[in-house]
Amino acid sequence: MSQRQQFRICSWLLIAVIAFGLARLQLEDHVSAGGHESETVQAPNNCLTQAAAQINKVRYIGKNSTGDDEVAVEWLVQSVSECVPFGSGQYVPGKVDTTPFGYEITVRIKRRLGSEDSGKVSKREIVKGTTTTIVRIPRENLETDPVSFTATLKTTAGAVQTFNRVVTGIGVPSFAGATQSTNKHSTADLNSCFSSVDMSAIHFIPGAGATPDNVTVNWSANTPSSICFEQPRFSILVRVKRLNGTVDTSQTNFSPGSTTATLQLSGPPGGVDSFSVVLTAISGNVVEKSDTQSGNF
């Protein structure tokens, strides 16, 4: 084998080793940041996936005035966009007021003679940046000092907004003479981050005999101001009160990007006394973020 061939083979082997090393480093960075044991629920967009919550430092302060132990936990939350807050509550369909999840810090300590104790701090609020939380841990009389710890952080990343456009009126479903209203609810105060929705047309298509009445609804949604949010998901509820007092309804969910739908009313065709059409757009997502760090004091 010539020296040139030997050189080429060695070069190929070197390139392969470097590529393998880079791939392994990327994988390790993805699995664990800063030596922490991180657990992240995968999100449908990069903003939520890249949002991070991690414990930076844990230190033993000592006994407080009541004789209990105090441990300081320094932790950090960071995201690529202000439209991805931390501590927002999980979205519950149909629930208007959502309590923030906030954060939970739990510290379990092991003492010099082997006994274990723990304490937890939880606050229901939106959190930002770097925070130091003091965790109080009960300490019995004659108990020894802590020598090691396991600290766990839990919070959420992201937010969800429901945007309702409501049209009500007398007679068959139509914009003519109808009343329009809007209401929206969010798991965090991020109004500028979400899409708004407009209903552009409502058409009543009368049926006859075995053919039911239908209602066609057209709408549009603006592009979210934040790249962190995808197009909203839609649902439409049509409610019609007949002249004989009966009520027919139809409700359907639609995928993002939809702009029109025809809904079939549930009852037989007939005269209409009044109606309501509710277009609901749901934007965003909320995922759990957690981090655990163990060590010695």
Q: How far is CA 171 from the centre of its chain?
A: 40
pLDDT tens sequence across 234-287 = 999 999 999 999 999 999 998 888 899 999 999 999 999 999 999 999 888 899
Under 8 Å between Cβ of 102 and 77: no
The pLDDT, as a whole number, for residue 226 is 66
* Pairwise CA distance, residues 269 & 247, whole Å: 12
- In three-state secondary structure terms, 50 is helix
Query: Which residue is associated with the tokens 């940041």?
Result: 33
pLDDT tens sequence across 80-105 = 888 899 999 887 776 667 789 999 99
**184 contact partners, CB below 8 Å, separation of at least 6:** 161, 162, 163, 164, 191, 194
Q: Is the pLDDT of residue 229 over 90?
A: no
- Ordered by where they begin, the domains of the chain are 33-157+287-296 (2.60.40), 160-285 (no CATH)
* Pairwise CA distance, residues 110 & 239, whole Å: 62
Of 96-105, 158-167, 208-217, highest mean pLDDT: 208-217
Under 8 Å between Cβ of 75 and 34: no
Q: If we measure between CA atoms, which residue out of 296, 292, 228, 288 comes closest to residue 33?
A: 292
- Helix (H) or strand (E) holding 291, with range, is strand 272-296
- Helix (H) or strand (E) holding 10, with range, is helix 3-31
Query: Which residue is associated with the tokens 């710890």?
Result: 149
- In three-state secondary structure terms, 54 is strand
* Pairwise CA distance, residues 64 & 53, whole Å: 28
pTM of the model: 0.73
